[in-house]
Amino acid sequence: MSLAEWPHRVSPGAADAPVLLMLHGTGGDETQMGGLAELLDPRAATLSPRGRVSEYGANRWFARLAEGVFDVDDVEARADELAGFLGEALTENALDGRPVIAVGFSNGANMALAVGMRHPELVSGVIAFSGMYPFGDREYDGSLTGLDVAVLGGHDDPMAPRTSVLKLVEQLQRRGATVRHAERPGGHGLTEADAAAARDWLAAKLPA
């Protein structure tokens, strides 16, 4: 899959700033995440691809069998495909060597987590808004030491059940990732407070 065949947007940002890989939710596209990226770090480069799975016309990052029941083979394959895109897009846009933070909302959060957990050599941080454990009942052992993850969402989210979120945190920590897990009251969504928490987390992670 060449870059030209994969709809995406790029903005180069400042040379010493990170790269934000911005992943939309179900039904979104590559035009939707610019405002959030600007809020998280106005100096960052951004790569915003479009999810390549169509669910009755709605763009997604991987197939699901039912709401919250993922086709885990597809999660794995699509995460690897996205990692391929990321590697090529970094080189093509002269962004190699800059830290990459995968940022996603909902289905995009689940893919940001999947790509970070399968490709920590490419991704140094993940910001997951209303995400959950993306790999069903599969567990893995590879080290995630060096991966920083912010897990932000509502305590009562029917689409990202708390049991799955807690499993996500437990699996990340067991494999050596550093996790900030912040719950707010409420359900699925991305609030101003979530975005502000992510911005502060990112600022604290990056060198001044």
Q: Which residues are catalytic?
A: 106, 157, 188
DSSP the chain: --GGGS-EEEE---TTS-EEEEE--TT--TTSSHHHHHHH-TTSEEEEE---EEETTEEESS-EEETTEE-HHHHHHHHHHHHHHHHHHHHHTT-TTS-EEEEEETHHHHHHHHHHHH-TTT-SEEEEES---TTTT-------TT-EEEEEEETT-TTS-HHHHHHHHHHHHHTT-EEEEEEESS-SS--HHHHHHHHHHHHHHS--
| Cβ nearer to ligand MLT, comparing 38 with 76 | 76
Using CB under 6 A as the binding rule, whether residue 79 contacts ligand MLT is answered as: no
Using CB under 6 A as the binding rule, whether residue 106 contacts ligand MLT is answered as: yes
Using CB under 6 A as the binding rule, whether residue 164 contacts ligand MLT is answered as: no
Using CB under 6 A as the binding rule, whether residue 26 contacts ligand MLT is answered as: yes
| Cβ nearer to ligand MLT, comparing 13 with 25 | 25
Member of 110, 124, 164, 171 binding ligand MLT (CB under 6 A): 110
Member of 13, 25, 120, 125 binding ligand MLT (CB under 6 A): 25
